[in-house]
Amino acid sequence: MAGALTMAWELTAEQQELVDDVRTAARKTLAPLAEQGRPGRVNRPLIDALGDLGLLARLFPGVGKGSSSREAAAFDLCLLREALASVSTESETALALQGLGAYPILQSATTEQVDRWLPAVAAGDAVPAFALTEAEAGSDAAALTLAAEPDGDGWRLSGEKVWISNAPEADVYAVFARTSPGAGSRGVSGFVVSGDRAGLSGESLDLLAPHAIGRLSFDGVRVEPGELLGEVDQGFAVAMRTLDLFRPSVGAFAVGMAQAALDAAIAHAGEREAFGGPLREMQAVGHPLAEMATRVEAARLLVYRAAAAYDAGRPGVSRTSAMAKLFATETAQYVVDAAIQIHGARALQSGHQLEHLYREVRAPRIYEGASEVQRSIIARELYR
């Protein structure tokens, strides 16, 4: 029938209830725990709470239940990240990193490794990390040089990783290393590496927004055959499958931050009196608010469409995921900046919601593929 389209981005009553429940839990339980955490360190009480609330289990719905389908729906992941980000960015990031670090294990590790790590991750008892980036292999991830040299029936890892979230405090790492020199993306393998493995060390790094992130050093770290992720020299595909799932949800994180900034700007412009009336009656304020609201809604629709496409297994997922991440993260940067402009100097005061968002919103335009990388992916896919 003409006009009878399936609107995947129109939330069902059940999905809206999930969003409302997550926001309530974030306000009452998670945000206070986030505020008590040490800047730049893994907040284990917060992760425990995410597990106790059942939010982490939603990332791994079949783990420990004998189900053959253990991967969260991309759409549900986006709803969780957007809802959390609109209230507590620290809570959102803690949840997202549990998923990002564990998904290579879930998708490609042996049953033994999955059973060892995933129930603990889903319960909030173990902290994973996704160890791909290197100092000279960020956006060009296929250029990584961490060496995996044959050692009997296993390998030894030597080199460094940097800008690794949850490092050096994670309990388990999905590590990507070079098994075939000179082979580019076709010479990379993934491994499961316990955080207490001999020869593995690290240090924390300070960023603009104080997240748990650091550098890892591998000094002949031994990995066994059963700790291989998938097949030898096929690790790059393992990493990209994880990023294809998480890129739309980075967009959802950005949408949540943008919505929080927009809500703050709307409230401030309606209450603040200037030049004989509320700010919202000034065209110089009303028009930016309209632009902000339009961009946020467009970003949300792109994110939902990309997530729905991933869940449906439609072709062109790489393009739609790249579009969602690109547009949503760029939109969030614009909206947060515009909200600060509407608020004036008060928004720059340490501890203000917008000051916090201004620091948080910058990194998503870089990690999991910088905006320039997303544009390159989209351009390439146009000719595929």
Q: What's the pLDDT tens digit per position in 295-337? A: 999 999 999 999 999 998 888 888 999 999 999 999 999 999 9
168 and 249 share one domain: no
Which pLDDT score is estimated for 276?
67
Residues 243 and 343 both lie in one domain? yes
Residue 70 has pLDDT above 80, yes or no: no
d(CA 321, CA 243): 9
Q: Is residue 104 part of a domain?
A: yes
Q: Do 253 and 304 share a domain, yes or no?
A: yes
pLDDT digits (tens, 9 = 90+) for 184-218: 999 999 999 999 999 999 999 998 888 899 999 99
Residue 307 lies in a domain: yes
User: Which residues span the domain enclosing 253?
Assistant: 237-382
Provide the CATH number for the domain around residue 159.
2.40.110.10
Q: Which of 121, 114, 113 is nearest to 95 (CA)?
A: 121
Q: What is the pTM of this model?
A: 0.92
The pLDDT tens digits for 180-192 are 999 999 999 999 9
Average pLDDT over residues 17-24: 96
Could you tell me if 81 and 100 lie in one domain?
yes
Kindly provide the b/e burial profile for residues 86-117, where b requires at least 16 CB atoms within 10 angstroms of the residue's own CB: bbbbbbbbbbbbbbbbbbbbbbbbbeebbebb
pLDDT value at position 8? 52
Looking at the fold, whether 272 and 329 belong to one and the same domain comes out as yes
DSSP state letters, 273-338: EETTEEGGGSHHHHHHHHHHHHHHHHHHHHHHHHHHHHHHT-TTHHHHHHHHHHHHHHHHHHHHHH
Predicted local distance difference test score (pLDDT) of residue 68: 46
Nearest Cα to Cα of residue 161 among 193, 207, 116:
193
Task: Tell whether 111 and 171 lie within a shared domain.
Answer: no
Q: Are residues 270 and 334 in the same domain?
A: yes
**Boundary-marking domain end, from 233, 266, 285:** 233
**Quick one: pLDDT at residue 5?**
40
224 and 150 within one domain? yes
Identify whether residues 224 and 269 lie together within a single domain: no
- pLDDT tens for each residue of 246-287: 989 999 999 999 999 999 999 988 877 677 667 777 787 889
Total number of domains constituting the chain: 3
Domain end point (choices 87, 111, 127): 127
Residue 278 shares a structural domain with residue 340: yes
pLDDT in tens, 223-240: 999 999 999 999 999 999
pLDDT for position 280: 72
Q: With beta carbons less than 8 A apart as the criterion, state whether 102 and 117 touch.
A: yes
DSSP 185: G
* Last-in-domain residue among 100, 127, 154: 127
Q: What is the mean pLDDT of residues 162-184?
A: 96
Question: What's the pLDDT at 282?
Answer: 79
Q: List the structure tokens of 61.
A: 């719905």
Domain-located, residue 367: yes
Catalytic residue among 71, 224, 368, 381: 368
Mean pLDDT of 76-93: 96
- Averaged pLDDT of the chain: 92
Q: Is 7 contained in some domain?
A: no
Of residues 138 and 95, more confidence is placed in 95
- Specify whether 243 is located in the same domain as 375: yes
The answer to whether residue 112 is catalytic is no
pLDDT above 70: residue 122: yes
